[in-house]
Amino acid sequence: MIFNLFSRRFRNLFVGFIMIHFLTVSAQNSPEKLFKDGNTAYNEGDFTTAVSRYEQTLEMGQHSAALYFNLGNSYYRLNKVAESIYYFEKAKQLDPDNEDIIVNGAFAQNMTLDAIEAIPKSQLAQIQQSVFSLFSLATWSRITLLWIWLFVVVFIAYLFLKATERKRFYFFISLLCLFLFVSSFAISFSINQQQENTQFAILFSNKIDIWSEPNQRGEIQFTLHEGTKIQLLESLDEWNKIRIANGSEGWIKNAEFRSLKD
């Protein structure tokens, strides 16, 4: 009996010890702790360790503009062109108006060998882009739902009101809500289509030839280097058709790149 009591107590102590150890290890390897350790390593100039801690944070499913921004800075310090630009672009997707991300991303772009001037956008395209970038797709979707709910509420009020003046007022308000709903829905739909149909990537190949056709019987049109942002248009076996910022298109074979949609 004494032996059984001792065994139970030993098992309870052992289980308690295992749980405490597990919780301690979990706390030490939490995303917050890894991110903090990465920041400490970066501030101490240990950029390799900083990258390792930040990458571990990513592997645990944590994604944020700050994390991508810090990774971009760390790779920039290590003179890793493609990696630095890739993570600055990822940070920009989550926080497009952040001045630090824009400035540091421009510094990273200066490390690339390819000087590509973007095609100037028309005034209409600039206005459209300004409207689209006011909010994220998720926010535009919420705004769309808000307007349709307001339309329903106001229109029901219009149906049940008897005073002519108030009835007319609610009718016009309902029309306004309907118009705003259609407008925000059109914007949300356009943004979604743009994101679905447009796929950008960062080139990781040190040097790659761009061909006029998806075979090597064609001509080499130009050459690109790591860190260049490309738009993926279509693929055929080991070939990918791409477009760069100046509008030039061509085919690349067995190129290393990382999609910004990942």
Q: 49-81 pLDDT, tens per residue?
A: 999 999 999 999 888 999 999 999 999 999 999
Distance CA 152, CA 158 (A): 10
**41: phi then psi, degrees, rounded to nearest 5:** -65, -40
pTM (2 decimals)? 0.74
- Domain 199-259 belongs in CATH node 3.40.50.2020: no
Confidence bin at 5 (pLDDT 50/70/90) = very low
Which pLDDT score, from 0 to 100, does residue 20 have? 45
| R_g over Cα of the chain | 27
- Contacting residues for 23 by C-beta, under 8 A, at least 6 apart: none
DSSP state of 120: P
Q: Quick one: pLDDT band at residue 262, thresholds 50, 70, 90?
A: low
Find tokens 């040097």 and name the residue: 207
Tens of pLDDT, residue by residue over 233-245, are 999 989 999 999 9
Q: Which pLDDT value is given to residue 195? A: 81
SS3 assignment, position 213: coil
Pick the CATH number of 2-109 from 1.10.3720.10, 1.25.40.10, 1.10.540.10, 3.40.30.10: 1.25.40.10
| Closest to 36 (Cα-Cα) out of 22, 17, 56 | 56
* pLDDT at position 23: 39
Of 14-23, 27-36, 178-187, 195-204, which range is least confident?
14-23
The domain locations on the chain are 2-109, 123-197, 199-259
* Tokens, residue 21: 């150890």
Q: In this predicted model, what pLDDT tens digit does every residue of 125-167 receive, in sequence order?
A: 888 888 888 888 889 999 999 999 999 999 999 999 888 888 9
Q: What is the mean pLDDT of the chain?
A: 87
